[in-house]
Structure 1
Amino acid sequence: MNYLFYLSIQRIPLGIAVALEFTGPLAVALFGSRRPLDFVWVVLAVLGLWYLLPLGQDVAQVDLTGALLALGAGACWAVYILTGQRAGEEHGPATVAMGSLIAAVIFVPLGMLQATDTLFQWSLLPLGLAIAVLSTALPYSLEMIALTRMPTKTFGTLMSMEPALAALSGMVFLGETLTFTQTLALGAIILASMGSTLTMRRETQLKKVDIG
């Protein structure tokens, strides 16, 4: 997921990449429900995607490869949500450590092939360590802790603000700017995500009681 995301932000603005990636968990939330109101959020999300992706004649200029990479990262995020919930319940934060270890086995050789000699520069070691901690180990561990301390609806609403914060970070730290159309499309995806979360029905869980 992170690998595809980093490839995408080489081609498209950070805020757009996060918005496209966020369609993964949004799809998980929406396709799990059949209420008429949820189709409103689907339409909003589709409209946002239509004006972000270069599919029409009069759309904002976004690199198609970068957009597809971000959508691929979103698909991986959806799989992570569907498969990681049970793993997190059974193993807690240790799930992040195990997942990171497996990812390292797969992607370290790939990174060595792509980076060649630049990988062995000692000056890059602190930067690589900071990226590993701030982009994977710390965020995912904090997510699992947060999920045990706050309602799912609150967590989902806060997560819905990620694209907006990413767009703001891209503007402040990277000097990226969005067109008016891109901003509206980004807002549509954020609104769809927040609406889906806030109108989600609370599932009732029946506890089994053993009668002795």
Structure 2
Amino acid sequence: MPHTSSQRPALGIMFVLIAGVFWALYIRSSAKVGALVPGASGLAVAMLVGAAFIAPVAGVVPAPQPIWNAAQDPMLLLMIFGTAMFASVIPYSAELMALRNLPQQVFSVLMSMEPAIAAIAGWALLDQETGPIRWVAICLLMTASVGITLTTTKGDSPKQKDDGEDPVPMPLPE
């Protein structure tokens, strides 16, 4: 059933709210994992869980070539590995380190700049069109980022906050 033009704004708002809820859950759960699990062990477990959920889907989704053909092409394996490192492992590791040292409110505003940075990169590198409304939104995001960063006190940092309880690291299986 096609959506009418009057349903599109409500549908868009619904999707924005759903995305916002999951974004908040991601930030809260990542902060908790960062406090409980030392190093990048939590990230490694999360990547394995994600791979376990997506692997069966990759095996049944129609593709030009079966997924197992990738194992026969070393260049393709290198590209898959590079994409995994630069699109997931490195950024998520940096986010985990930032969450350990920044208040969640500051982190969430700084993360909200990702679409703005992508829009600027698309405009500068790919000559993608960015209209005036998008530029206003980008400027507002950057202003909010600077504002929250400047107005958050050092005492708000989870690393410097001392509530008398240190998080106990979760033991890892050997």
Asked if TM exceeds 0.5, the reply is yes
- The aligned counterpart of 1:86 is 32
How many pairs does the alignment contain? 144
Q: How does 1:1-212 map to 2 (within 5 A)?
A: 55=9, 68=15, 74-92=20-38, 93-118=40-65, 119=67, 120-121=69-70, 122=73, 123-148=75-100, 150-152=101-103, 156=107, 159=111, 161-200=113-152, 202-203=155-156, 205-207=162-164
Give the AA of the match of 1:127.
M
Contact 1:88 1:95 in 2 (8 A): yes
Q: Under a length normalisation based on structure 2, what TM-score does the superposition of the two structures give?
A: 0.62
Contact 2:43 2:93 in 1 (8 A): yes
Quote the offset at 1:186 in angstroms: 2.7
Structure 2 distance, partners of 1:109, 1:128, is 17
Is the partner of 1:116 in helix, strand or coil?
A: coil
Structure 1 pair 102–151 and aligned structure 2 pair: CA distance change class (3 A) = closer
Gaps of 5+ in 1: 1-53, 57-63
Contact 1:163 1:190 in 2 (8 A): no
User: Cα RMSD over matched residues?
Assistant: 3.4
Contact 1:161 1:190 in 2 (8 A): yes
Q: Which has the higher contact order (CA 8 A, sep 6+)?
A: 1
Gaps of 5+ in 2: 1-7, 166-174
Quote the offset at 1:82 in angstroms: 1.2
Quote the offset at 1:105 in angstroms: 0.7
Structure 1 distance, partners of 2:83, 2:18, is 21
Is the partner of 1:176 in helix, strand or coil?
A: coil
Structure 2 distance, partners of 1:143, 1:111, is 27
| Larger radius of gyration between Structure 1 and Structure 2 | 2
Give the AA of the match of 2:46.
G
Structure 2 distance, partners of 1:55, 1:187, is 23
Contact 1:160 1:190 in 2 (8 A): no
